[in-house]
């Protein structure tokens, strides 16, 4: 099976490539079958390296993706800075102004959010699970891009959908404390908990920033076992990668 890639359907310039890998087409064995790109989930390290090499060849990536040490925080890595490719410190978002740099966000239910300026000159990618989203990872990424928000395009990648994302009062309270309108993204269920709409929360945050060009994959990672890894569904599982780069000479 060959590597499969969900192309982002958005209004970024044609030179900007973006999307998210699907779970098939790699060499990992269950429970990581098969295109697991996460090197921190217990899969065989050599197999993960092989999957990453296969991904780079299949998509003809201009460079090895910048694999972040994601911790559900709001730190943003400027990958154009000296030695940034080594990524020694934790970060949950990255920005670049150089063609040929490949940004990557690993996910298995959390939402990857990809950004591009209208001219494609500045790119950003963020790991937006509920913790990072609540803490302000999208706001931090937009600040780091240094582009007027109304000049940005955003793509919300595959993530767990509201039908399957159950959370407690603490999660709802964290968002509502920031913005009372966030209450609209939570629906009470019969268990006394809440069904949470991550995409709606992300759109609210982006709208508050002034980012109006927002597109979405409308894909639920929990619901589609064939296409997506899901931590909430399976526990021990692999990771997809949302990727973003601008065609041009490698950095």
Residue 76 token pair: 């943003």
Q: For tokens 């694999």, name the residue.
A: 67
Within a domain: residue 180?
no
pLDDT in tens, 103-160: 999 999 999 999 999 999 999 999 999 999 999 999 999 999 999 999 999 999 999 9
pLDDT of residue 251 exceeding 60, the answer is no
Q: Is 28 left (phi over 0), alpha (psi -120 to 50) or beta?
A: beta
Within a domain: residue 240?
yes
Alpha-carbon gap, residue 170 to 174, rounded angstroms: 6
As a dihedral over the C-alpha atoms of residue 242, residue 248, residue 249, residue 251, rounded to 10 degrees, the angle is: -40
**What pLDDT does residue 38 have?**
98
Q: How many domains does the chain have?
A: 1
Within a domain: residue 175?
no
Query: Comparing C-alpha atoms, which of 18, 109, 194, 107 is closest to residue 6?
Result: 18
pLDDT in tens, 66-87: 999 999 999 999 999 866 556 6
Query: Comparing C-alpha atoms, which of 142, 201, 206 is closest to residue 175?
Result: 201
Within a domain: residue 88?
yes
Alpha-carbon gap, residue 213 to 118, rounded angstroms: 10
3-state secondary structure of 115: strand
**What pLDDT does residue 250 have?**
43
Within a domain: residue 67?
yes
No. of H helices and E strands in the chain?
6, 14
Asked if 144 and 93 touch (Cβ cutoff 8 Å), the reply is yes
Within a domain: residue 203?
no
Within a domain: residue 70?
yes
DSSP state of 159: B
Show the domain range for 112: 5-160+213-246
Collect all residues with Cβ–Cβ distance below 8 Å to 101 and sequence separation of at least 6: 63, 66, 79, 80, 123, 245, 246, 251
User: Which CATH number do you get for residue 50?
Assistant: 3.60.140.10
- Sheet with 103-107, side-by-side order of all strands: 5-7, 16-21, 240-246, 103-107, 66-67
Within a domain: residue 104?
yes
As a dihedral over the C-alpha atoms of residue 212, residue 104, residue 196, residue 199, rounded to 10 degrees, the angle is: 20
pLDDT of residue 249 exceeding 90, the answer is no
Transcribe 195-228 into DSSP letters. Answer: EE-HHHHHHHHHHHHT--EEEE---BTTT-TTT-
Residue 248 token pair: 């041009």
Of 40-54, 80-94, 99-113, the one with minimum mean pLDDT is 80-94
Asked if 99 and 249 touch (Cβ cutoff 8 Å), the reply is yes
């Amino acid at each position: 099976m060959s590597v499969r890639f969900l192309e982002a359907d958005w209004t970024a310039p044609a030179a900007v490539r973006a999307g998210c890998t699907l779970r098939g087409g790699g060499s990992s064995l269950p429970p990581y079958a098969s295109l697991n790109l996460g090197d921190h989930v217990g899969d065989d390290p050599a197999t993960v390296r092989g999957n990453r090499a296969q991904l780079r060849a299949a998509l003809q990536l201009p460079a090895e993706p910048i694999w972040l040490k994601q911790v559900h925080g709001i730190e943003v890595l400027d990958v154009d800075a000296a030695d940034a490719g080594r990524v020694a410190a934790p970060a949950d978002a990255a920005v670049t102004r150089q063609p040929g740099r490949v940004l990557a966000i690993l996910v298995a239910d959390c939402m990857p959010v990809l950004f591009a300026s209208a001219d494609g000159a500045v790119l950003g990618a963020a790991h937006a699970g509920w913790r990072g989203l609540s803490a302000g990872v999208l706001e931090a990424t937009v600040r780091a891009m240094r582009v007027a928000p109304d000049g940005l395009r955003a793509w919300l990648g595959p993530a767990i959908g509201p039908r399957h994302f159950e959370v407690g009062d603490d999660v709802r309270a964290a968002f509502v404390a920031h913005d009372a309108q966030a209450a609209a993204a939570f629906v009470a269920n019969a268990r006394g908990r809440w069904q949470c709409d991550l995409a709606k929360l992300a759109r609210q945050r982006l709208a508050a920033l002034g980012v109006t060009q927002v597109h979405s994959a409308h894909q639920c990672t929990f619901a589609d076992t064939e296409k997506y890894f899901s931590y909430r569904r399976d526990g021990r599982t692999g990771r997809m990668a949302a990727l973003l780069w601008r065609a041009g000479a490698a950095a």
